[in-house]
């Protein structure tokens, strides 16, 4: 672990700031949901119901992928693998002169990568151009002995005769990116950083969308954007997610870095971030969930212990649904059905277990997620999603040991990550006004 910390420090020191949009060192980037009318992935011919179903399917696939690589290796989540490795996209620029890159913003990945020429085998890409390393005066391939290459560990490929570090990133649906590890200049709006490590992908294939250049890694590992820019943003980023239900909206969610990421106010609550392997994910401790005044303790499925494991749930912006251990989910669903006086119906799409016809949200109690030191109240409008006309379902799924606090429940919360102070903060906020 000490070696990993030293490598992280070395990497962040090598990244320098040219200029920022704010004198305090912070900057902000649009975070666009892939189903927003502002997204290049938006298809107006797809109905809202179908978009929701696709998001649910992606959510199951993502939960399956994360469970395979996280500490929750006993998870029995099963899903047909489908779609993108995240729900939001970011526009950045790479190189000198800068070239537009449209990447999936992924808090479940560390390495940022984009498709590069020459492309031996790549998926079709329209919109943003491929990166051309020879056209950037600040591009530098990394050697196999470089510190950033050593950090790749399991993602590092055998070194070739040219001594260029090569990576391979794989995803749960069989999609992958293979290429050279390199450094170049990165632009986040007017904020410019030198010597940022990324993957220049020459062999990329799978289910990536043709409008997407690659991945923007926002995880907690040493090669993530968050840790590489640590000397400037000091381990701080935050976001405020708006609802994407309103198709007429011309607003985007925002992601903030540095001092602009501070979550302040009398109504802020904070919980410790728990350091676990893999370091990519953001773990916190969920102690219980309450339905009105009924408090339901977290207990790991299959365990007789009532003591909560530290870091028993991941906070992830790239997963739509929330996943709870089956025993806790059963207690939650039982308490909700007893409290709701509505007409229970089956889910037409067979995703959800708790659905109601013409649900009156005034009859639904507030559910509070009680993290260590932080009670986060989730109003009914975020707990239930209308999957078809008149049919609303609980946007939470059971799993055997694997837990994710998903983005449906994160809407209208200003959520701040501080990797230096190792804390996660929540503040109720109207994100459309933020």
Mean pLDDT of 401-408: 87
The CATH number of the domain where 364 resides is what?
Answer: 2.40.70.10
Is 316 tagged catalytic?
yes
What's the total number of domains in the chain? Answer: 2
Question: What does the block give as tokens for 290?
Answer: 């309450």
pLDDT digits (tens, 9 = 90+) for 234-287: 999 999 998 765 555 678 899 999 999 999 999 999 999 999 988 999 999 999
Tell me if the pTM is above 0.85.
yes
Strand partners, 156: 167
CA 184 vs CA 93, 97, 205: distances in Å:
10, 11, 23
Same-domain check for residues 197 and 318: no
pLDDT digits (tens, 9 = 90+) for 135-173: 999 999 999 999 999 998 778 889 988 999 999 998 766
Domain boundary among the residues 254, 272, 299 is at 254
Q: Same domain, yes or no, for 231 and 336?
A: no
Domain range for 191 is 2-34+84-254
pLDDT tens-digit readout, 233-249 = 999 999 999 876 555 56
pLDDT in tens, 334-372: 999 999 989 999 998 888 999 999 999 998 999 999 999
Of 227, 254, 281, the one marking the end of a domain is 254
Domain match, 423 and 296 both: yes
The partner residues of 137 in beta bridges, in order of sequence, read none
Of 203, 222, 254, the position where a domain reaches its end is: 254
Considering 106, 173, 184, 412, which one is annotated as catalytic?
106
Q: What is the model's pLDDT at position 68?
A: 58
Choose the catalytic residue: 35, 184, 316, 412: 316
* Residue 106 annotated to the active site: yes
Burial class (CB in 10 A: 0-12, 13-18, 19+), 257: buried
Residue 226 and residue 293 in one domain: no
Structure-token match 């995880």, residue found: 219
- Asked if 250 and 271 sit in the same domain, the reply is no
Q: Say yes or no: 156 and 250 in one domain.
A: yes
């Amino acid at each position: 672990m000490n070696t990993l910390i030293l490598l992280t420090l070395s990497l962040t020191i090598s990244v320098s700031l040219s200029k920022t949009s704010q004198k305090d060192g912070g900057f902000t980037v649009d975070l666009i949901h892939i189903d927003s009318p502002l997204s290049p992935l938006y298809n107006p011919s797809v109905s809202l119901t179908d978009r929701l179903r696709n998001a649910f399917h992606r959510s199951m696939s993502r939960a399956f992928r994360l469970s395979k690589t996280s500490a929750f290796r006993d998870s029995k989540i099963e899903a047909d693998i489908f779609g993108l490795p995240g729900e939001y996209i970011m526009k950045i620029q790479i190189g000198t002169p800068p070239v537009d890159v449209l990447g999936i913003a992924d808090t479940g990945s560390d390495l940022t990568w984009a498709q590069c020429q020459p492309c031996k085998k790549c998926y079709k890409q329209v919109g943003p151009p491929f990166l051309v390393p020879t056209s950037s005066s600040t591009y530098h391939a990394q050697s196999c002995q470089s510190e950033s290459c050593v950090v790749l560990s399991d993602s590092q490929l055998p070194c070739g005769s040219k001594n260029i570090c090569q990576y391979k990133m794989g995803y749960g649906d069989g999609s992958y990116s293979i290429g050279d590890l390199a450094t170049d200049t990165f632009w986040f709006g007017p904020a410019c950083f030198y010597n940022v490590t990324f993957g220049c992908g020459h062999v990329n294939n799978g289910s990536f969308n043709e409008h997407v250049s690659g991945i923007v890694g926002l995880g907690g590992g040493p090669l993530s954007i968050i840790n590489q820019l640590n000397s400037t943003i000091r381990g701080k980023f935050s976001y405020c997610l708006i609802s994407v239900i309103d198709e007429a909206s011309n607003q985007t969610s925002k992601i903030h870095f540095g001092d602009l990421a501070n979550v302040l106010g009398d109504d802020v609550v904070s919980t410790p971030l728990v350091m676990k392997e893999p370091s990519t994910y953001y773990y916190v401790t969920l102690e219980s969930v309450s339905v009105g005044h009924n408090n339901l303790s977290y207990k790991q499925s299959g365990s007789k212990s009532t003591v909560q494991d530290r870091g028993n749930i991941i906070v992830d912006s790239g997963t739509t649904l929330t996943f709870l251990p089956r025993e806790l989910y059963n207690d939650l669903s039982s308490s909700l059905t007893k409290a709701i006086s509505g007409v229970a119906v089956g889910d037409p799409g067979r995703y959800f277990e708790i659905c109601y016809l013409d649900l009156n949200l005034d009859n639904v109690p507030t559910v509070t997620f009680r993290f260590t030191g932080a009670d986060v109240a989730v109003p009914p409008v975020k707990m239930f999603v209308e999957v078809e006309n008149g049919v609303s379902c609980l946007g939470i799924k059971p799993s055997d040991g694997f837990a994710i606090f998903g983005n449906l429940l994160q809407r209208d919360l200003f959520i701040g990550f501080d990797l230096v102070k190792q804390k996660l903060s929540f503040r109720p906020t109207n994100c459309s006004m933020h």
